[in-house]
Amino acid sequence: MGSQRFLTVRHLLSGRNLVCTVAELMAKLDMFNDTLAISPTPVDVSSFGIRQIWHKKNATNAKNVWIRQTIHQTVIQQVHDLRAR
């Protein structure tokens, strides 16, 4: 079974005899911290980057710059907090 949406994974796993591979930091989110167990994968799984994409015409738009910076700072803080767990 697969899902393109991380938010549905917990519901797919709950009460079923399934295994799911997600990013370690995703697994540490509170939304996964109930009856699910976390363990390392038995094989190496490559890492992936997180990128923001926007249209060039919005590159200097003040609102667009603000939301990109806000998202960037939020993700950085969340990653820092999750790694500290």
User: pLDDT tens digit string along 45-84?
Assistant: 777 777 899 999 999 999 999 999 999 999 889 888 888 8
* Residues 55 and 80 both lie in one domain: yes
* Residues 8 and 43 both lie in one domain: yes
Question: Which two three-digit tokens encode residue 59?
Answer: 């590159």
* Residues 37 and 61 both lie in one domain: no
* Residues 28 and 54 both lie in one domain: no
Q: Which domain holds residue 69?
A: 50-85
Query: How long, in residues, is the chain?
Result: 85
Distance of alpha carbon 39 from alpha carbon 48, whole angstroms: 19
State the pLDDT at residue 15: 82
pLDDT at 17 over 90: no
Domains of the chain: total: 2
* Residues 27 and 56 both lie in one domain: no
